[in-house]
Structure 1
Amino acid sequence: MDPQISVALIGAAGVAGTVGGTVLGAWIQARGGRAQAQAARDAAVTAAQATLAHATQERVWTVIPVYLRAAGEYAQAVERLYQVDAVDDVLVARRAFELAKAEAELAAPQGMRSALESLAGALRALEGVAGLVGAGERAHGALMILCDSDVNAHEARIELRNLDVANVPTWTPTRLPAPAAYEPAVAALEAVAGLTEEQRVALLSRAPRVRAIQARRRDSMAQYQSARAEVVDTTRAALGAG
């Protein structure tokens, strides 16, 4: 082979090798750059997720205790209906709870929404029961106080208890005349000067349903306490407290 051709081929081969090496190096470098960019994006996503999770926990930590406190105050206001006719207090407590609930629903993660609604439903049921039987329970409390100083009140309490024990059918006292089974209780209550007519009516309506009323009160309170515990549990889970 002509020495000049050989030199030319060797030179060409060297150039080709250099170019090939440069291209390969650039390809490797490009791949490395893309990997670094992807890693940076992954890190950014992870950091954003962590920030969001932390922000959610902060909101839950701030808002849910307010919600639970409002729920407790609402429940206490409802329970007072069995002692005093404090409907206005219940209205104020309910409004405060509804505001706290709205804030909690905005702040809490999706997994907590069901527990929040369950507690709201339990409180509505608690108030519903108190609204139905509260007047009778308040009247009964007034009668018990009178029993300490009024023999007629003590006699009326006995006659009302007899109605419960006898399991007589319920009677609406506004419908006259009174059934024969109710006549002793009606007469005994009329002799108690310290009672209003509304209280006498409430006591006669309550008498045959005492055990059923007590069971409804227990059930509604148990439902509330269970729903409240569920909110506490889901809150602990949202906060990573197990």
Structure 2
Amino acid sequence: MTRMRRFGVSLFATAAVLLILFAPLLSSVDPLEVNTDDQLAPPGLAHPFGTDLLGRDVLGRFLHGGQRTLATATASVALAACCALILRLAALAASRHGLGDDLLNIATQALLAVPGLALALTATTVVGRGDTAVVVAAGITQIAPLLRTAYAAEQQARLTAYVEAARSLGASPAHIWRWHIAPAMLPVTAAGLGNAFAQTILVTSTLGFLGFGGEISAPEWGRMLYEGRQVLRVAPWVSLAPAFGITILIYFMNHLLRRLAVNPAE
């Protein structure tokens, strides 16, 4: 793909994400309004993305569902990051006794051995259904990947010349970690968070598709995919909108990850 084409695709993806974020504030369409006289209407002036089986405007549900998906994914990543940070700090505190890193690595490998979806479904079985359950379930699936990414970045930073120099000058472990290791970890950690965000979008959409989300009538991309599956042959536009949104969001995050990999200073 040429540079100009990559720029055009990236600009389109960025514009689509911004539209998802801010368009519901400007839209007067009620995503919950049922109109049985306008069921499965094709895209047109009145309904640019058509209507679903209950006559609800697909564009309105797409925009509001996008905000819901983004909010759920953001909360899930924040939960996973907080849990990973607490566990890593606890491991650092226990490493003086030679147990912290070993125990944390064993737990991380054990969690990574379990498929993410199976882990999420197990969590929803314990926590229950609803938005909170989805946040917790999706967040749990990303704790181990974030721990692995942070640990690898930390070990790589510890081998750098400036860390060795600071250690030889008598700097304390806390000083070295605060001023040398943590800043070196930021680009890799940011990339890990971006990857976790993309993964949580898939997990939350999958859970919504399986019916583990909030209210059934609430707009959510995974739920919209499930509803569109029932009328895929006669009204493909019902499924195309949420599928497009999921694809664009994941592409947007992958684009940011590539930029971090090429130039971490950006």
Q: What TM-score, normalized to structure 1?
A: 0.30
Give 1 or 2: higher helix fraction: 1
Larger Rg: 1
